[in-house]
Amino acid sequence: MSTITYILDSNPTTEDDKILRDGIVNFNREVVKEKATHFSIFAKDSNNIIGGALVWEHSDALYLDVLWCDENNRKHGIGSKIIQMIQSYARNKNLPKIFVDTFDFQSEAFYLKHGFYRIGVIPQYLLEHDRIYLRKDIF
């Protein structure tokens, strides 16, 4: 057997990171028998992106990975419209649930307002801030 060396690399290459990511994705795929896909939603003003979402689609759920709106365009309903579009997508694809996570300094109240409910929390996840996990049942 060869000698194994262990390296802590604070500047890993994209290729090395890809080996690790692909390894766990392939392992997971063997268990869940699916390949997640993703889609994006963009809110544009004069062809400039002012908000949007990155969403992962699984066989029975959506995971809202990123929801962002430019600071100058917040509180104008953009996030709400994006959430509505995600919910419509889930209904059309017969996906019964949506998951998202956020921090206590971000947007839990926004998600609660849109019918999500808290399913878990990791206290003091980052600099004393809690990481909050939420779910919305579509049907």
Q: Please tell me the total number of residues recorded for the chain in this structure.
A: 139
Structure confidence by residue, pLDDT tens digits, 8-56: 999 999 999 999 999 998 998 888 888 889 999 999 999 999 999 999 9
At 34 the pLDDT is 85
At 125 the pLDDT is 97
Structure confidence by residue, pLDDT tens digits, 110-124: 999 999 999 999 999
Residue extents of the structural domains in the chain = 37-137
CA gap 138, 65 in Å, rounded:
18
Residue 58 pLDDT more than 70? yes
Residue 1 pLDDT more than 70? no
At 126 the pLDDT is 95
Strand pairing of 62-69 and 97-103?
parallel
Mean pLDDT of 131-136: 99
- Look at the alpha carbons of 11, 13, 16, 17 in this order and tell me if their dihedral is positive or negative: positive
At 11 the pLDDT is 96
What is the Cα 74 distance to its own chain's centre? 20
Give, rounded to a whole angstrom, the gap between the first and last alpha carbons of the chain: 54
CB atoms within 10 A of CB 87: 17
- Write the single-letter amino acid at 113: K
At 32 the pLDDT is 85
Structure confidence by residue, pLDDT tens digits, 65-90: 999 999 999 999 999 999 999 999 99
Q: Which residue has the tokens 């997508």?
A: 89
Fold exhibited by the domain 37-137:
Aminopeptidase (3.40.630)
